[in-house]
Structures are given as structure tokens and as C-alpha cells.
């Protein structure tokens, strides 16, 4: 039997999630997959929650590597785009790290990078903390909203957005005049485009507080 490590347990757990979904991951099922007594897992993880956080953290590997150094804004913008992409690439894993503060290395590197760049830009600790939360909540929230369509190709997503625009256009214009009048402009471009727009406007606002 292969020697168990934290890394090997996480790898097997990800395989189990791929087959059965994160809701069906249990210590018993994981024990069967690694061909070991389930209690062996607790020699490497203090709890199932700690294991789940480690699994979720795996999808964030590399997001802080080789970030732009031209400006604090470009660095943070690129990092947020990468975080969102990582969440969309593995939504089942990403959900495991959304509900609590950072507790593993990749999450902690993200926090440290954002706070460091904001500090270098001139934000004091309190302002940097509020900015950090705004950036992370926009990024993770966008990924959570878009995750249901993440597996669809661009043509399928375009058709879905067109259907949604039609739904708005078909509303009672007397009750929802702005929605009907603006229906053709809703859901423009891609979800990536819309996230980039929101992120840029948030960064504009943050930059404005420094002047």
C-alpha cells in the first residue's frame, strides 16, 4: 500500500469528488478509495473540515506566481482574474474554501499579496482591509454566479443570454419599464467581459481614494 501523505489524500479526495460530487465525499468513502482504514485520514487532518479546506486550496495553486510588477493595480487585477478563473475551472472544489477565512497556503498567499500591494500603493491597514474584502467578494461572488454556465461553450452561453434578454423584453412594460426598455443591452459580451468591467470600476474607485 502506498504511504499516505496529506498530498496523496487530497489527490484521492479530488478524484472521489470528480466521480461522486463534493456532497458525497465522506471519510468512509475516502478510506475505501485509498484502501486504508478511514481513521488513518485523521492522522493527517484534524477534521473533515480541515481536509475539505485543503482540497479547495488545491485549485488555487499558482495563482500568485509571476504577477505583473508594473503597478499595484495591474497586479491585483490579474490576480483577481486568475482567482475567478480557478474557481470556474473547478467549481466543486472552489466551494470548499468560500465559507471561512484563509487557512491554507495558497489562500494565505492571495491575502498577503493583495494586502501587500495595497499597502505599497498607500492604503493604511484599515483601508487595505476593506479594499481586500471588496475585491475578494466581487471575485468569488462573480465566480459563484457564473459557475452554472462554466461548462457551456461560448455559443451555448450566447444563446442563454439571448433567452434571458428575451425574458426581460417580454415583461409587462407598465410594471417594469426600465427592464423592458433596456432588455437589449442586458448581459452584453461574455461573463468574463462583465467581470472585467466590474473589477475595473472597483479599482477605479479604490485608486480615487488615494488622490
User: pTM of the predicted model, to two decimals?
Assistant: 0.82
Find the angle CA(31)-CA(32)-CA(38) to the nearest 5 degrees: 25
pLDDT at 28: 86
pLDDT for 19: 80
Is residue 20 over pLDDT 80?
no
**Predicted pLDDT at 75:** 98
Q: Which residue has the higher pLDDT, 182 or 53?
A: 182
- Rounded Cα distance between 208 and 137, Å, is 20
- Under the banding of pLDDT at 50, 70 and 90, the label for residue 38 is confident
Q: Are 199 and 207 in contact (CB under 8 A)?
A: no
In the predicted structure, residue 209 carries a pLDDT above the cut 90: yes
Contact 30, 12 (CB under 8 A): yes
Cell of 148: 452554472
Confidence band (pLDDT; 50, 70, 90) for 82? Answer: very high
Would you state the pLDDT for residue 94? 63
Check residue 178 and give left, alpha or beta (phi > 0: left; psi -120 to 50: alpha): alpha
Pick the CATH number of 6-58 from 1.10.8.350, 1.10.10.60, 3.30.70.20, 3.40.50.1370: 1.10.10.60
The secondary structure of residue 123, as a DSSP letter, is -
At the top level of CATH, the class of 65-211 is mainly alpha
| pLDDT tens, position by position, 177-203 | 999 999 999 999 999 999 999 999 999
Dmax over Cα atoms in the chain, in whole Å?
70
Tens of pLDDT, residue by residue over 102-139, are 567 888 999 999 999 999 999 999 999 999 999 999 99
Q: What DSSP assignment string belongs to 12-78?
A: HHHHHHHHH-GGG--HHHHHHHHTS-GGGGGGT-SSHHHHHHHHHHHTTTTTTTT---S-HHHHHHH
What residues does each domain of the chain span? 6-58, 65-211
Measure CA 82 to chain center. Answer: 9
Amino acid at each position: 500500500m502506498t504511504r499516505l501523505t496529506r498530498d496523496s489524500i487530497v489527490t484521492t479526495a479530488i478524484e472521489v469528488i470528480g466521480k461522486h460530487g463534493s456532497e458525497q465525499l465522506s471519510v468512509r468513502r475516502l478510506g475505501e478509495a485509498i484502501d486504508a482504514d478511514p481513521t488513518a485520514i485523521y492522522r493527517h487532518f484534524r477534521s473533515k473540515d480541515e481536509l475539505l479546506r485543503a482540497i479547495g486550496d488545491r485549485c488555487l495553486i499558482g495563482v500568485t506566481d509571476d504577477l505583473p510588477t508594473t503597478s499595484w493595480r495591474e497586479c491585483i487585477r490579474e490576480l483577481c482574474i486568475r482567482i475567478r478563473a480557478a474557481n470556474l475551472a473547478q467549481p466543486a472544489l472552489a466551494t470548499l474554501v468560500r465559507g471561512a477565512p484563509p487557512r491554507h497556503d495558497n489562500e494565505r498567499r492571495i491575502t498577503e499579496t493583495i494586502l501587500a500591494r495595497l499597502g505599497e500603493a498607500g492604503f493604511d491597514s484599515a483601508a487595505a482591509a476593506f479594499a481586500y474584502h471588496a475585491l475578494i467578494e466581487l471575485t468569488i461572488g462573480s465566480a459563484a454566479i457564473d459557475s452554472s454556465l462554466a461548462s457551456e461553450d461560448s455559443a451555448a452561453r450566447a444563446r442563454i443570454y439571448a433567452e434571458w434578454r428575451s425574458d426581460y423584453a417580454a415583461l409587462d412594460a407598465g410594471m417594469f419599464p426600465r427592464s423592458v426598455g433596456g432588455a437589449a443591452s442586458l448581459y452584453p459580451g461574455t461573463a468574463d467581459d462583465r467581470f472585467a468591467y466590474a473589477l475595473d470600476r472597483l479599482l477605479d474607485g479604490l485608486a480615487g481614494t488615494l488622490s
